[in-house]
Amino acid sequence: MIRLFVPKDVSALAVGADRVVKALYEQVGEGVQIVRTGSRGMTWLEPLVEVETPQGRIAYGPVAPTDVPGLLAAGLLSGADHPLRIGRPEDHPFMVRQTRLTFARCGIVDPLSLDDYRAHGGLEGLTKALAMGPEAVVAEVTASGLRGRGGAGFPTGIKWKTVADAEADRKYIVCNADEGDSGTFADRMVLEGDPFCLIEGMVIAGLAVGATKGFVYSRSEYPHANVTFAEALILAREAGLIGPDVLGSGRSFELELRVGAGAYVCGEETALLESLEGKRGMVRAKPPVPAHVGLFGKPTVINNLVSLASVPVILAKGAKAYADYGLGRSRGTMPIQIAGNAKYTGLFEAAFGITLGEIIETVAGGTLSGRPVKAVQCGGPLGAYFPPSLFDTPYDYEAFTARDGLIGHGGIVVFDDSVQMGAQARFAMEFCAIESCGKCTPCRIGSTRGVEVIDKIMAGTEPAANMAVLEDLCQTMKYGSLCALGGFTPYPVMSAVRHFPEDFNGSGINAKVPAE
């Protein structure tokens, strides 16, 4: 039996993977099996077709349905040469530079095969966790240096310890998979490409802190991911990985998938909890923190999906092996997501410490358009725009903070020199106005005033005076908002003003983007 592998990841489907599979089925004949996988993360090469050979899996990409006859004639099924042949994926320069820990299985395994999962190291972490006992698991996660991969960077082990120490009749594990930042898709890739890894991480968290129920809060914008993850939950329950007796341990852990309804602010942890409770996604004031008073008032671990999906490998390989990667207080690896106008787009998991310049120039290969890079936005719509003069910044929580930026959830959006930064600053304010939950005044009112004042600057109306108003407004939003939506919107705005003042010169070019 010859085995072919074609991703079912939605980024591959979006560029025709299903049509390629259809063409293959029609033309390969008997004795060929097509396995649908997640994505390797080399998105610019999608749809990627791999064939199993004695030399390992050989990849071809990007494959169009019309390429299929030529590929088969050239000897695709034996891994033969062809202009689209890229060789073994793990030997590709994009992959060789990576350290795949959290995403070790993504793109390789059948996401809905527990046998495949086990054969590639799955459940080793949980098996160890069950043998170690809860306190040792919390200590191990703390020692690994793992910090919140959603952007806040709070030490995961300390959060777990707080919940473990809390007295309550019921505790929860909540996975924040409300991945709304533009330029990010790591959560989605796990849900589609390695869902058991998330389930395993959440079960470990539940056992460690004494929680018996978990929720994954995903997005309505991710229909394909939600279908795959819901199927994985059924399989996990059948296999006893979740349920009343986790892997025969006598411990119980139930897990449920919930889907949001198109509100960006629900990615903020307290708004997410409100939403899970069936309310408007309004941000809660802290304290109390969710670790003390969380979902339905109970102590709750709420972690980003990537944080939870990193736990199995930390337990399997040991805290030290994980902490040996990284720089300063940023330990381990980060799935960096390269998006927008880049030549090589996709997911690049690397140890902290690689410079932004290496990522943009070497890994991403510059722009797709071939024009010079003008700016990169790091960390989603609330992240700063960095000019090439800051490309020496190491990828590290503290280094980005020191330069008035943030790594956020690991997204990097590349823009070429055709971008007008005044329009981007305006969009940041407009987005904040659309998505504000409305609870605090600086965010609710400030964002709309921000759009207006940027319009005045761009139209050349008292530009100096209005720039002073904008700066003052950004200060108010930054220090007066209840959460990161209003508090961080000044980052893209002020970084655009600081690094690209020439784009705010009042000439009014392209300042108006179509209004809602």
Partner 1 sequence: MASKTTNLVAVWDPNRAAEIINAHLGLEGPALPILHGLQAAFGCVPSEAIPMVAKALNRSRAEIHGVVTFYHDFRDAPAGKTVVKLCRAEACQAVGGREAATFLLASLGIGWGETTPDGAVTVEAVYCLGLCAAAPAALVNGEPYGRLDGMSLVEAVAEETQP
Which positions touch partner 1 (CB under 8 A)?
10-11, 13-15, 43-44, 46, 179-185, 187-188, 213, 220-225, 227, 256, 258-264, 275-282, 296, 337-341, 345-347, 368-369, 377, 381, 411, 413-416, 419, 424, 427, 431, 434-435, 437, 513-514, 516
CB closer to partner 1 out of 78 and 418: 418
Q: How far is the CB of 137 from partner 1 (least distance, A)?
A: 25
CB closer to partner 1 out of 144 and 345: 345
Q: How far is the CB of 179 from partner 1 (least distance, A)?
A: 6
CA 325/CA 331 separation, integer angstroms: 6
User: Which residues pair with residue 448 across a beta bridge?
Assistant: none
The full length of the chain comes to: 516
Q: How far is the CB of 297 from partner 1 (least distance, A)?
A: 12
Tell me whether the omega of the peptide bond preceding residue 492 falls within 30 degrees of 0, making it cis: no
Residue by residue, DSSP assigns 365-382 as -S-SSSSPEEEEEESGGG
Q: How far is the CB of 71 from partner 1 (least distance, A)?
A: 21
Contacts of 97 (CB under 8 A, 6+ apart): 348, 350, 362, 363
Contact criterion met (CB below 8 Å) for 314 and 144: yes
CB closer to partner 1 out of 249 and 362: 362
CB closer to partner 1 out of 3 and 371: 371
CB closer to partner 1 out of 45 and 130: 45
Contact criterion met (CB below 8 Å) for 174 and 272: yes
73 burial level (CB within 10 Å; 0-12, 13-18, 19+) = exposed
Nearest to residue 40, comparing CAs of 367, 349, 446, 425?
349
Q: How far is the CB of 342 from partner 1 (least distance, A)?
A: 8
Query: How crowded is the C-beta side of 209, counted as CA atoms within 13 Å?
Result: 36
CB closer to partner 1 out of 180 and 312: 180
Q: Residues of 259-279 as b/e, b for ≥16 C-beta within 10 angstroms?
A: bbeebbbbbbbbbbbbbbeee
In a 3-state reduction of DSSP, which class is residue 339? strand
Q: How far is the CB of 513 from partner 1 (least distance, A)?
A: 6
DSSP state of 263: -
Q: How far is the CB of 172 from partner 1 (least distance, A)?
A: 9
Q: How far is the CB of 132 from partner 1 (least distance, A)?
A: 30
CB closer to partner 1 out of 224 and 251: 224
CB closer to partner 1 out of 296 and 479: 296
